[in-house]
A and B are shown apart, each in its own frame.
Chain A
Amino acid sequence: MTLVRTVDVRVSQARAFAVWTEQVGMWWPPGHSMTGEAGARMAFEGGVGGRLVERAPSGREIAWGRILSWDPPLGLSYAFFAGAPPGGASEVDVRFEAVSETQTRVVVTHRPGSLAREAWAGTVSGFEAGWAAALPSYSTFTHQESS
């Protein structure tokens, strides 16, 4: 179930990478929250091993992903837990292709990640705990949104 999406943006490659990573809190779709808390924000912790993390005003943090590769401004990839197939995480790969100085094509490939699974093999128990903690609020939220 590999999914490939592209979007062209009228900014430089470096800027596109910076917005994707540093401003994720601004473009993350509203309502996609695991904490379910109003005012929760997403953030990338830059570099391999860093998290894609939701930080809630209460101080609660839930990891949505773990960075597997980090190559600014060319791209990054991360293990992604939301909607993951069984066994761990799917994998999101984001490439920023410079079309010109002021235009960038962003290619997102979202696939069930064997690489992600291996990366997580050593920390499965932490991941399971994350799922367990995340699911109740996530389900509550899903229910609210669909009603």
Chain B
Amino acid sequence: MLPNETLDALGNPTRRAMLELLRGSPRSVRELADAFPVSRPAISRHLRVLHDAGLVTAEASGTRRIYSVAPDGFQPVRDYCDRFWDVALRRFQVVAENLEQP
């Protein structure tokens, strides 16, 4: 299953929208704040959640920090899907081959 950190990070519409934006191109906190109707401290808090969940990385550029989507950030999601389909397809096969036809 997905780690709770990933679920929690993705379970917020603003954070999902921030990730969408960062997927397009890396941005600073200020650039992100300009794109959303929420305060800069709120954006910073969202970034911290995303960062702690491993979904974004930060890089210093002069006095600014530039955020981008972490290349491996969605690995837990990928792992979840892998496990889900492993189990689902095995069960589907057993049901399909053993269930009495109506």
Contact = CB atoms under 8 A, between A and B. Distances in A.
Given A11-B97, A27-B92, A86 B15 contact: yes
Nearest to A28: B88
Given A9-B93, A146-B1, A86 B88 contact: no
Interface string B69-97: 00000100110111011111111111111
B11 A29 contact: no
B37 interface: no
Contact of A132 (B11, B17, B99): B11
Nearest to A90: B81
Contacts of A38: none
A60 interface: no
Interface in A76-98: 82-87, 90
Interface of B: 1-4, 7-8, 10-11, 13, 15-17, 19-20, 23, 74, 77-78, 80-82, 84-97, 99, 101
8 contacts: A3-B85, A7-B92, A8-B93, A27-B91, A29-B91, A87-B16, A139-B7, A142-B2
